Amino acid sequence: MEYSSVCSVSDVTRSEVLSFREPYIPSAVFRLFLQGEDTCTLELAQLHTLTSCGFNSSNPLIIITHGWSVDGMMESWVLRLAKAMKSYVRDVNVVITDWLTLAHQHYPIAVQSTRTIGKDIVYFLMSLKNSYQFPAKKAHLIGYSLGAHISGFAGSYMDPSEKIGRITGLDPAGPLFEGMSPTDRLSPDDAEFVDAIHTFTRERMGLSVGIKQAVAHFDFYPNGGDFQPGCDLHNIYEHISEYGLHGFQQTMKCAHERSVHLFIDSVLNKDKQSMAYRCSDNSAFDKGVCLDCRKNRCNTLGYNIKRVRTGTSKKLYLKTRSRMPYKLFHYQFRVQFINQMDKMEPSLVISLTGTKEESGDISITFTEDISGNRTFTFLITLDKDLGDLMLLKIHWEGPALWKNMWNRVQTIIPWGGKGSKPMLTIGRISVKAGETQDSTTFCALTDDGQHVEVSQDKVFVRCKEETVKERRKKHRNF
């Protein structure tokens, strides 16, 4: 039996949705989150229940919508996200869309129910407008997996003059939505502002759990978006120790659900906001060429995103840790090699010293030959802010076989072989911090410091002309 993705927008027109016939009985249950694990069920046919539950029409509204359910149970992240929003955003109404009855069906059948739940949300918003003059622009819909597309359908059914303020898609579902037209999935047209976090787009049997294509004004792809650190099978024991018997299941959905926890992290850790950068793809980002914040080329992942409406979807990339807080600091390294005669693929160990912290040893392996005059660019991430960069050390870690052969040559012919000793000639090294957009250029500390031999340490400091520029800048500021 074949299933289509979802019925087309022409099958369920906006006018049909807006002309609700009374009594309208929604398929979903809306629960106002109170505190802890307490919720209060809202009876839309009896709007006085909103007041008795504690709904405050002066405060903005957040609607959390879950995705497909394997076991028919509400997942623990739902209450965790609700609690985070209620506790840290504070003056806000948090409502949970419970559509477990339809979500606990075979996936293709659950997909066919997404428009129905979207219609339920519209009915809820219209009820708020009619009874409380509550505008849709004060609503923020947060949907996970299928819930992301449900939120999108709700937005598409709203009258253009009553657009929803914001929709956040947390790893929007891929199967039966990938490649579909904007009217048949979450899209930038569904709200005044739409953002999405893609965390599990790795294909399995021709399908990806999360949708790959951009579906928002800003689409974030942490760690490339295809998989997430800490979610491999070898992490199953860690998950079992944390989640008990549900640890195996947690491992299976770890990458998909990471989108939720990244969003929660952005609320809980306001002092550690993860920054993402616009880039053509993850390969280019890994080379460190995309750490630019000009013209809205970077943005904050999660709740505190800078809302900028764009004509086309913008793809942003970032690296994260495997656990909360997920924030990493991004650094772009540019290393210049001068008149390199011998072709080689060296392994370097570098360390940075800043005014706040030291980086510790960072290993860099070149995957292509270094020869002639070339500049290599690559990305380095750290879990701490180093402050203003002051010092850089480089150690050339040559292959063990190479070093043993050279030591034997020196033992047999101690006066010979000097001219053929492998050597790197390094020019300038520039380091750009993505989070601060500060760039620092390093030069060799000594005249012979450009020449680096195997197993040798070299120190690089801020270039003198840069120091002069900094002094002039300081004088201008006084």
Active-site residue flag, 145: yes
Task: Give the rounded distance of the alpha carbon of 416 from its chain centre.
Answer: 55
Stretch among 147-151, 271-275, 419-423 having the lowest mean pLDDT: 419-423
> Mean pLDDT, the chain, as a whole number?
85
List Cα–Cα distances, 371 to 289, 334, 378, in angstroms. Answer: 21, 16, 17
pLDDT at site 18:
58
Query: Which carries the bigger pLDDT value, residue 454 or residue 228?
Result: 228
User: Which pLDDT does position 86 carry in this prediction?
Assistant: 94
Task: List the catalytic residue out of 256, 261, 330, 395.
Answer: 256
pLDDT at 239 over 60: no
pLDDT in tens, 249-276: 555 689 999 999 999 999 999 999 999 9
**Residues in a beta bridge with 142:** 64, 168
Mind listing the pLDDT tens digit for each residue in 357-401? 999 999 988 777 777 788 889 999 999 999 999 999 999 876 544
User: For the chain, what percent of residues have pLDDT higher than 90?
Assistant: 62
Going by C-alpha positions, the residue among 169, 170, 149, 144 that lies closest to residue 67 is 144
Sign of CA dihedral 222, 227, 232, 233: positive
pLDDT of residue 238: 57
pLDDT value at 411 more than 90? no
Residue 446's pLDDT band, with cuts at 50, 70 and 90, is: confident
Mean pLDDT of 151-172: 96
pLDDT for res 22: 66
**What type of residue is 150?**
I
d(CA 250, CA 237) in angstroms, rounded, equals 11
Model confidence at 237, in pLDDT bands (50, 70, 90)? very low
Separation CA 231–CA 220 (nearest Å): 18
90 marked as binding residue: no
Active site residue 451: no
- Residues 140-161 have a mean pLDDT of 97
Superfamily of domain 14-318: Alpha/Beta hydrolase fold, catalytic domain (3.40.50.1820)
- pLDDT of amino acid 3: 39
User: Which sequence spans correspond to the domains of the chain?
Assistant: 14-318, 329-477
Q: Evaluate if residue 56 carries a pLDDT over 90.
A: yes
Per the annotation, the verdict on 58 as an active-site residue is no
185 labelled ligand-binding = yes
Q: What is the CATH architecture assignment of 329-477?
A: Sandwich (2.60)
Asked whether the beta carbons of 437 and 329 are under 8 A apart, the reply is no
**Taking residues 427-435, what's their average pLDDT?**
93
pLDDT digits (tens, 9 = 90+) for 173-198: 999 999 999 999 999 999 999 999 99
Catalytic residue, candidates 145, 259, 266, 274 = 145
50-58 own/partner pairs: CB under 8 Å, 24+ apart: 50/128, 50/131, 50/132, 55/93, 56/91, 56/93, 57/128, 57/132, 57/133, 57/134
